[in-house]
Amino acid sequence: MSANERLKQLGITLPEVPQPIGNYVDAVRTGNLLFLSGKGPGEATEGGAGKGKLGKEVTVEQGYQDARSVGLALLAVMEKELGSLDRVKRIVKVLGMVNSAPDFGEQPKVINGCSDLFVEVFGDKGRHARSAVGMGALPNNITVEIEVIVEVE
């Protein structure tokens, strides 16, 4: 089943691509690799989430949902850049940064929100190498920022 068909089957509609908040582009392609700039949760994140520190005012479950919403934004960037998600050959690498309280250590559980989405959409092609790290702060106090490297057809 194609990735676009899988999205329909899952009832997922991709959001509009969020605009960069600085002097950079959403993606750069070199050869058969597409490097996606880091994205954070949008303002439309359910329940007003998307801001704050994990392990302080944000729960792991909220962070997971925020990471999933970022994954949707990243899928939207892939579709915009490639014309179709079916051109994705493999999700190669995910770097997930989590706005963390000093004693918070469950960053992998949070970034699973994005990783699980990629596997749902792409199957085995969505399985990837990954880093999930804690940060003392992220831009605009967002909960997570995620960047991705994609191999394309």
Please compute, for residue 48, the number of CA atoms within 13 A of its CA located in the half-sphere on the CB side. Answer: 1
Q: pTM for the complete prediction?
A: 0.94
- Please report the domains of the chain, with CATH numbers, ordered by start residue: 3-7+34-152 (3.30.1330.40)
Residue 44: the pLDDT is 45
5: which 2 tokens?
A: 């068909």
β-bridge pairing 27-30 and 33-39? antiparallel
Q: What is the pLDDT at residue 43?
A: 52
d(CA 49, CA 143): 8
What pairing do the DSSP bridges indicate for beta strands 88-99 and 129-135?
parallel
* pLDDT value of position 21: 85
Count of other CB atoms within 10 angstroms of residue 106: 18
User: What six digits make up the tokens of 128?
Assistant: 């990837």
| pLDDT per residue as tens digits for the range 5-63 | 999 999 999 999 988 889 999 999 999 999 999 999 975 444 446 999 999 999 999 99
